């Protein structure tokens, strides 16, 4: 399974020295869709790679550099549009703060966190600076506004880059309710215009998205983020902060998972649930295809179960299905 191959290469970069050509093909085919090829390219020592692999990894490093440059530029544009400092989340925050988690990281959208009471101003500010709605569908738009933790995604009309404006951490219907106000209060300024979450809140935020939300698609990268972010935190402060956000159990699980997949030291005992999550995370074959279809579908259902009360979930899935959406 190439998911395991990818995890092994990130954990111990020198282990790639033993790979043959089919092994490299499988590793690259997994790293690209998991969006970890840039990270891999920065960790692996060129001297250990065959000649045919070097240009592939060099290209990935180039792409990662561009991602970082573009992400910082977008963050700057958003701060300019809002006329106020912006609190960055996820990839852009890691790059802006120069963290290990940002090294080689693929960055899709710009994610920012703003107080809920400022949402109307923020929306107006972004629209006048050229951002437009992506979703034309009235159901989706109303759904986002009523139930989600973010505005419907917007895209810049000239630069084609998306922005996600969050006002809290998880959907309003979710079972956990991390304290976004506390996160904003403890944010750390890194320039005059940009700030990021405190190291402990960064972990909580990343864990919330990996384990209390979503179906774990692309989870290997999120877990890599967490693995890197854990280097910067104080264990006691993290535990206290996780309790405050109602995330104690999830943070503890993320620590076990990160140690099991990416850690080099002693591993903690894994639960059956941990093993299921790992099985889901590693579901990719040597051609880059996602495998374990039933398991993935189960996680997809679970992600919705976590987000919504049962009747609402049934109504939502029915509406999406009628519109032609198929999950897998």
Alpha-carbon 316 to chain mean position: 24
Tokens of 184: 């904003």
**Contact window for another protein (CB under 8 A) among 5-13, 29-37, 88-96, 119-127:** 29-37
The C-alpha atoms of residue 273 and residue 259 are separated, in whole angstroms, by 15
* Near another protein by CB under 8 A: residue from 48, 56, 119, 129: 56
Residue 62: Cβ within 10 Å count? 12
61 touches 40 (CB < 8 A) = no
Q: Should residue 63 be labelled a site residue for another protein when binding is judged by CB under 8 A?
A: yes
What's the N-to-C CA distance of the chain in angstroms? 20
Q: Should residue 121 be labelled a site residue for another protein when binding is judged by CB under 8 A?
A: no
* Near another protein by CB under 8 A: residue from 12, 46, 59, 243: 59
Cβ 99 to another protein shortest distance, Å = 23
Cβ 97 to another protein shortest distance, Å = 23
Instruction: Closer to another protein by CB, 64 or 114: give it.
Output: 64
Q: Should residue 46 be labelled a site residue for another protein when binding is judged by CB under 8 A?
A: no
Tokens of 1: 């399974």
Q: Should residue 278 be labelled a site residue for another protein when binding is judged by CB under 8 A?
A: no
Instruction: Closer to another protein by CB, 25 or 173: give it.
Output: 25
Instruction: Closer to another protein by CB, 108 or 288: give it.
Output: 288
286 touches 2 (CB < 8 A) = yes
Q: Should residue 32 be labelled a site residue for another protein when binding is judged by CB under 8 A?
A: yes
**What are φ and ψ of residue 150, in 5° steps?**
-150, 160
Q: Show Cβ contacts of residue 201 under 8 Å, excluding neighbours closer than 6 positions.
A: 182, 183, 186, 187, 241
Cβ 2 to another protein shortest distance, Å = 11
Tokens of 168: 């809290």
218 touches 35 (CB < 8 A) = yes
* Near another protein by CB under 8 A: residue from 28, 97, 242, 251: 28
- In the complex, which residues of this chain contact another protein (CB under 8 A)? 21-22, 24-25, 28-29, 32-33, 50, 52-53, 55-56, 59, 62-63, 66, 69, 287-289
């Amino acid at each position: 399974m190439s998911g395991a191959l990818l995890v092994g290469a990130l954990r111990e970069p020198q282990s790639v020295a033993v790979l043959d050509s089919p092994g490299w093909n499988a590793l690259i085919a997994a790293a690209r869709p998991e969006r970890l090829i840039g990270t891999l390219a920065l960790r692996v020592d060129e001297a250990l790679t065959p000649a045919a692999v070097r240009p592939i990894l060099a290209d990935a490093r180039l792409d990662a550099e561009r991602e970082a440059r573009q992400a910082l530029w977008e963050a700057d544009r958003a701060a300019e549009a809002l006329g106020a400092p912006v609190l960055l989340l996820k990839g852009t925050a890691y790059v802006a703060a120069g963290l290990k988690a940002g090294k080689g990281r693929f960055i899709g959208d710009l994610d920012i966190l703003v107080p809920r009471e400022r949402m109307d101003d923020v929306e107006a500010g972004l629209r006048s600076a050229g951002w437009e709605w992506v979703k034309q569908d009235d159901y989706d738009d109303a759904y986002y506004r009523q139930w989600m933790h973010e505005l419907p995604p917007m895209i810049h009309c000239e630069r084609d880059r998306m922005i996600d404006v969050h006002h809290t951490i998880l959907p309003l219907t979710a079972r956990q309710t991390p304290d976004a106000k506390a996160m904003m209060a403890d944010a750390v300024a890194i320039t005059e215009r940009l700030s990021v979450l405190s190291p402990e809140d960064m972990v909580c935020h990343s864990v919330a998205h990996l384990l209390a939300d979503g179906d774990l698609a692309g989870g290997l990268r999120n877990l890599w983020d967490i693995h890197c972010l854990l280097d910067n935190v104080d264990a006691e402060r993290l535990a206290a902060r996780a309790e405050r956000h109602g995330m104690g159990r999830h943070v503890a699980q993320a620590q076990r998972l990160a140690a099991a997949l990416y850690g080099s030291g002693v591993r903690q005992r894994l639960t059956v649930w941990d093993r299921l999550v790992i099985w889901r995370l590693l579901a990719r074959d040597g051609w880059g295809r996602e495998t374990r279809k039933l398991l993935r579908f189960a996680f997809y259902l679970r992600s919705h179960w976590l987000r919504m009360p049962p009747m609402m979930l049934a109504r939502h899935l029915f509406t999406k299905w009628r519109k032609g959406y198929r999950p897998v």
